[in-house]
């Protein structure tokens, strides 16, 4: 069974490729490395002991997509490729609409020509916009509030139109909540460019000493401690969710959206404490003004995925923070240097922090 994984070198894609390879799927990756590093793929091979074909290609180049489909007997596609920064999408909206929407339309068009009509798509909880009603279920009215979120919402609509035009398609749209964590091997993880926008990459760089302190955006929300609450989900649980969605699209026809979250919210301060425990470092912080566009609370109702995909998240925040820290500790510059170089001269993690490699 051959699965095309677009964006397979990225954060969630690389973790999903590990799970696919370990389950015996043949994997073909298409990525333009605009936000990833080929080193991640070497490490996927190091973890799994398996090789796979990789195309350094852009979804905006339809000829290359055609080449990928003509050279391989693809059964289904998991489509991660896209740009994902909210702030950047406000600054350069046209690039976001072009990359995410045109890329997806090109992909679906070529899939259709080759009769490959099984698709798992990376959507996002961001499609729900600024709702106050939690937990959020899939019936919640959509209303993305920034260009990035609108690309996801519009792609969901495009995929709906595609299915209505041809009911041979089978499409799962996965709305992720807040993915964090890393593979327990410490070999792959999130490698943001420049200053991280998201909470966990920022906290882990503060723990590592490469940033001075965390800015907490607001402590006056109507939450347990005044800081924002989110549904953090371990990236390995998320990756496994894709395999369940793949089974679903292979066995049925239709189109459906599923929340992938834990159903539990943690505040920023709770995450700071959990990370301090995992890393045995203190995380200095200051309280700053609220970040525009942030909701107070956001967490999933994950029942639909449990009932229809037979999937649920199993890893708690302690494991999420330990795995993030292991990745950060052994890869202080992400993929910019090989793993071998980065660990030279490092105190083994269990001596440095008291917790064990798995």
Q: Which of residues 281-300 bind ligand WQD (CB under 6 A)?
A: 291, 294
What's the min distance (Å) between Cβ of 345 and ligand NAD? Answer: 29
Sign for the pseudo-dihedral over CA of 331, 122, 66, 46 = positive
Peptide bond into 191 cis (omega under 30): no
Q: How many CB atoms lie within 10 A of CB 220?
A: 11
Q: Which does 7 bind (CB under 5 to 8 A by kind): ligand WQD, ligand NAD, none?
A: ligand NAD
DSSP string, 28-50: EEEE--TT--HHHHHHHHHHH--
With binding defined as CB under 6 A, does residue 45 bind ligand WQD? no
Q: Which of residues 44-63 bind ligand NAD (CB under 6 A)?
A: 58-60
Q: Please, are residues 246 and 76 in contact by the beta-carbon 8 Å criterion?
A: yes
Cβ proximity to ligand NAD: between 60 and 356 the closer is: 60
Helix (H) or strand (E) run with residue 94 in it:
helix 93-96
The residue whose two tokens read 């991280």 is: 196
Q: How many CB atoms lie within 10 A of CB 350?
A: 10
Query: Of residues 217, 277, 337, 342, which one binds ligand WQD by CB under 6 A?
Result: 217
With binding defined as CB under 6 A, does residue 211 bind ligand WQD? no
Build a one-symbol-per-residue string for 207-246: x at contacts with ligand NAD by CB under 6 A, - elsewhere.
Answer: ----------------------------------------
Burial zone of 286 (CB within 10 Å; 0-12 exposed, 13-18 middle, 19+ buried): exposed
User: Which residue(s) pair with 123 in the sheet?
Assistant: 175
Q: Please, are residues 354 and 331 in contact by the beta-carbon 8 Å criterion?
A: no
The residue whose two tokens read 């799994």 is: 48
Calculate helix-pair angle for 103-113, 147-165, nearest 10 degrees: 20
For the chain, the helix, strand and coil percentages under 3-state DSSP, each to the nearest 5: 40, 15, 40
Q: Which of residues 94-123 bind ligand NAD (CB under 6 A)?
A: 99, 103, 122
Q: Which does 103 bind (CB under 5 to 8 A by kind): ligand WQD, ligand NAD, none?
A: ligand NAD
Q: Which residues are tagged catalytic?
A: 148
Q: Which of residues 181-200 bind ligand NAD (CB under 6 A)?
A: none
What's the min distance (Å) between Cβ of 84 and ligand NAD? Answer: 4
Query: Of residues 54, 124, 185, 204, which one binds ligand NAD by CB under 6 A?
Result: 124
User: Which residue(s) pair with 276 in the sheet?
Assistant: none
Query: Of residues 22, 167, 210, 215, which one binds ligand WQD by CB under 6 A?
Result: 215
Q: Which does 279 bind (CB under 5 to 8 A by kind): ligand WQD, ligand NAD, none?
A: none
With binding defined as CB under 6 A, does residue 230 bind ligand WQD? yes
Q: Which does 36 bind (CB under 5 to 8 A by kind): ligand WQD, ligand NAD, none?
A: ligand NAD
First to last CA, the chain: 30
Query: How many residues sit in the footprint of ligand WQD (CB under 6 A)?
Result: 18
Query: Of residues 19, 31, 138, 256, which one binds ligand NAD by CB under 6 A?
Result: 31
The residue whose two tokens read 């339809």 is: 62
The residue whose two tokens read 């503060």 is: 206
Phi and psi dihedrals of 28, rounded to 5?
Answer: -125, 125
Cβ proximity to ligand NAD: between 35 and 279 the closer is: 35
Q: Which does 294 bind (CB under 5 to 8 A by kind): ligand NAD, ligand WQD, none?
A: ligand WQD
Residue nearest to ligand NAD (CB): 10
Residue numbers of the site for ligand WQD (CB under 6 A)? 84, 86, 124, 126, 178, 197-199, 202, 214-217, 228, 230, 268, 291, 294
Residue numbers of the site for ligand NAD (CB under 6 A)? 6-7, 9-13, 31-36, 58-60, 80-84, 99, 103, 122, 124, 176, 179
């Amino acid at each position: 069974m051959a699965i095309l994984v677009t964006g397979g070198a990225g954060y969630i894609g690389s973790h999903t490729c590990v799970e696919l390879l370990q389950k015996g799927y043949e994997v073909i990756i298409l990525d333009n490395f605009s936000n990833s590093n080929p080193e991640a793929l070497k490490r996927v091979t190091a973890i799994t002991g398996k090789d796979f074909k990789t195309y350094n290609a852009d979804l905006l180049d339809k000829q290359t997509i055609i080449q990928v489909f003509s050279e391989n007997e693809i059964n289904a596609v998991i489509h991660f490729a896209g740009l994902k920064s909210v702030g950047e999408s406000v600054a350069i909206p046209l690039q976001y609409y072009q990359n995410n929407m045109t890329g997806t339309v090109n992909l679906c068009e070529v899939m259709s020509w080759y009769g490959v009509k099984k698709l798992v798509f990376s959507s996002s909880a961001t499609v729900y916009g600024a709702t106050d009603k939690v937990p959020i279920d899939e019936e919640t009215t959509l209303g993305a509030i920034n260009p990035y979120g609108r690309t996801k919402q519009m792609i969901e609509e495009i995929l709906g139109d595609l299915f209505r035009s041809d009911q041979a398609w089978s499409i799962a749209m996965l709305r992720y909540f807040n993915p964090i964590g890393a593979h327990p091997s410490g070999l792959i993880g999130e490698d943001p460019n420049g200053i991280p926008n998201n909470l966990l990459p920022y906290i882990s760089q503060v723990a590592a000493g490469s940033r001075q302190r965390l800015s907490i955006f607001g402590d006056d929300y109507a939450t347990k401690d005044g800081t924002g609450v989110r549904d953090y989900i371990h990236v390995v649980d998320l990756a496994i969710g894709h395999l369940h969605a793949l089974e679903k699209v292979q066995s049925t026809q239709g189109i459906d959206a599923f929340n992938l979250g834990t159903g539990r919210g943690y505040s920023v301060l709770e995450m700071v404490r959990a990370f301090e425990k995992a890393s045995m470092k203190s995380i200095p912080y200051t309280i700053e003004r609220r970040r525009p566009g942030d909701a107070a609370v956001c967490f999933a109702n994950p029942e639909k995925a449990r009932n229809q995909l037979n999937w649920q998240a199993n890893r708690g925040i302690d494991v999420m923070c330990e795995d993030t820290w292991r990745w950060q500790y052994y890869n202080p510059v992400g993929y910019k240097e090989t793993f071998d170089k980065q660990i030279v001269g490092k105190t083994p993690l269990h001596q440095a922090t008291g917790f064990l490699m798995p």
